Chain A
Amino acid sequence: MVAKKSIKFLTILGIVFSSLTTFAKSGETSEKGGQVSTPEQINDYIKHHLADSHDFALFSYTNDAGERKHVGFPLPVILWTSNGLTTFMSSEFHHNDDGHVLVEKNGMKFAKIHSKIYELEAGASAVAFDDAHHATNAARVLDFSITKSVFGMLFAGFLMFLGFRSLAKGYKKGAIPTGVGRVLEPLVLYVRDEIARPNIGEKKYKKFMPYLLTVFFFIWILNLLGLTPLGFNVTGQIAVTVCLALFTLVIYLSNGTKDFWAHTLWMPGVPVILRPILAVIELVGFVLIKPFSLLVRLFANITAGHFVVMSLIALMITLKNQFGAVGSTGISLVLALFISVIEILVAFLQAFIFTMLSSLFIGMAVEEHEHH
């Protein structure tokens, strides 16, 4: 068993390292210097980090020969273009992010500008920009790439599946879980007893448990992954939070009871004239405002957290002139450490709040009213 595990681990390690080295070799171009020193550069760097990325960069450095080296591994790019499906590895962009490196596939040219992939119009040989730095002769394509965020989600999903599968299997051996299950079980119980049961109600909570548990652990793990130096920012991607909020919306709308719709669309006990107005307010509340609050809260909290942590780390550079290298590093270390601790709390809190509010909205929709 142990031998099997270690072989598996070594295989994965081997694959990672081999791809790392090939990537390092291929990434020898672009960005001369590459140091980030001015506030503008820091700002750009943070923005770049907050956006999704098409390759998995761990770190980069400038070698003795003055070449910029990137260590990480490329991820597959999958595009739905005017010509159908096109795939290639992200390493073909050579870490270029301003549209200067063009990748030619199936007779189409692609450029990557600010982490977005554009397809150049037929005949164009370079991306033309207007004054606002928008590409004029290229259009965005549908990008189903395994980006860093998608990779992060797959990783989180993999972790969840491993962990909870082992917990589920553990129950076959005995009622008390062992190993990692001992940590996971209280969390499952927490979601059930503190989030689902009080908000949805004893009768109906069971049906929604799989969704709530999945979302809670998914968000929490991704939030925590975002705090690692791997630099994931999955729950800070608006597309991801939109998707999560949409799931909750669909679930509570599709499970709304007759009572729920009656109270939403034709509120009893209220003058008839007011009822249509109330219906509009309620409907907007349930269909737009509630999911919007869910998606913006998660997105904004995580994005802000990343922004603050990175800005505090950047103090090391911006305060160097005033406090010297050691002083600025010390200040940045203390502050970043402090905020990171808070961010660990926020990582849990946002997962909790998302799940909590989801179950609250579901609870509102499935509630059986007393008939007056």
Chain B
Amino acid sequence: MEQLLNDFSPGLFAMQMLILLILLFLLAKFAWKPIIAALNDREEGIQNALDAAEDAKKEMENLQADNQKLLKEARAERETMLKEARDIKNKMIEDAKDEAKAESSKLVAAAQASIEAEKKAAIADLKSQVANLSIAIAEKVVREELSNKDKQVKLVESMLGEATLN
């Protein structure tokens, strides 16, 4: 202990204190403060950059999800549109078929009606012509028959013979 106390040099102690104080002051002012500030700035910068990257990633994910949603919606819409179109087409075909059927049946009916009318007219015409013709024939026949008495009697007789009373 005595040795230790003897070794203790007050002068060295004072010099050490002086040097340490000056060193502390100089380093604090010119080295430590700027270094620590720079390190903090850098760490903050890195943290901010990381946060920004994280945010960007999240945003990207959101965007992708949105896209996916939109795509899905678009697909669904297309699906419904197609379905609608198909339905409309089918309906149109159906309608057209019905209409055509109705039209054709109408036509057929009209045709039948007109055929009937024609037929009736033709029959009527034929009847009147036949009547006229038979009258003309009958007139000629009668005129001839009646030109001589024999024949007239014969006719009456034949006719009477024909017209047997039954």
Given contacts A153-B16, A175-B45, A210-B27, contact A239 B10 (CB under 8 A): yes
User: Is B7 interfacial (CB 8 A cutoff)?
Assistant: yes
Q: For B7, give the chain A residue with the smallest CB separation.
A: A238
> Which residues does chain A contribute within 8 Å of B41, judged by CB atoms?
175
Q: How far apart sit A169 and B35, CA to CA, in the bound complex (Å)? A: 8
Residue B147 lies at the interface, judged by CB distance under 8 Å to chain A: no
B26 an interface residue at 8 Å Cβ cutoff?
Answer: yes
Give residues of chain B (1-40) contacting chain A, Cβ–Cβ below 8 Å.
4, 6-17, 19-20, 22-24, 26-28, 30-36, 38-39
Q: Are B16 and A209 in contact (CB under 8 A)?
A: no
B23, B38, B39: the one within 8 Å of A157 (CB):
B23
A239 to B8, CA, bound (A): 5
Taking CB atoms, residues of chain A closer than 8 Å to B20 are 153, 214, 218, 243-244, 247
Query: Do B16 and A239 have beta carbons less than 8 Å apart?
Result: yes
Instruction: Judge whether B42 is part of the interface by a CB distance below 8 angstroms.
Output: yes
Interface 1/0 per residue, B44-60 and A, CB below 8 Å: 01000000000000000
Indicate which residue in B8, B15, B28, B38 contacts A238 across the interface (CB closer than 8 Å). Answer: B8
Q: Are B23 and A168 in contact (CB under 8 A)?
A: no
A245 CB to closest chain B CB (Å) equals 11
Q: Mark A106-137, 1 if CB is under 8 A from B, else 0.
A: 00000000001000000000000000000000
**Given A160-B23, A218-B23: A242 touches B13 (CB 8 Å cut-off):** yes
Tell me the nearest residue of chain A to B46, going by C-beta: A175
Cβ contact of B24, chosen from A169, A171, A188, A210, cutoff 8 A: A210
Given contacts A164-B32, A210-B33, A213-B32, contact A239 B24 (CB under 8 A): no
The CA-CA distance from A244 to B38 in the complex, in Å, is 28
Q: Which residues of A contact B34 (CB under 8 A)?
A: 168-169, 171
Q: A188 to B15, Cβ gap below 8 A?
A: no
Residues of A within 8 A of B39 (CB): 185, 188-189, 192
B35 touching A171, Cβ below 8 Å: yes
Given the known interface contacts A214-B24, A218-B23, the answer about A237 and B42 at a Cβ–Cβ threshold of 8 Å is no
A145 to B45, CA, bound (A): 49
Question: Does the CB pair A243–B26 fall under 8 Å?
Answer: no
A138 within 8 A of B: no
Q: A157-B23, A168-B38, A171-B38 are in contact. Are A237 and B12 (CB under 8 A)?
A: yes
Residue from B13, B14, B27, B45 within 8 A of A213 (CB atoms):
B27
Q: Which residues of B contact A154 (CB under 8 A)?
A: 19
Chain A residues with Cβ below 8 Å from B27 are 160-161, 164, 210, 213-214
Contact A116 B9 (CB under 8 A): yes
Question: Which B residues are within 8 Å of any A CB, using their own CB?
Answer: 4, 6-17, 19-20, 22-24, 26-28, 30-36, 38-39, 41-42, 45
Interface residues of A (CB under 8 A from B): 51-52, 80, 116, 142-147, 149-150, 153-154, 157, 160-161, 164-165, 167-169, 171, 175, 185, 188-189, 192, 206, 209-211, 213-214, 218, 237-240, 242-244, 246-247
Q: Which 6 A-B pairs have the closest CB atoms?
A: A171-B38, A164-B31, A143-B11, A210-B28, A168-B34, A239-B13
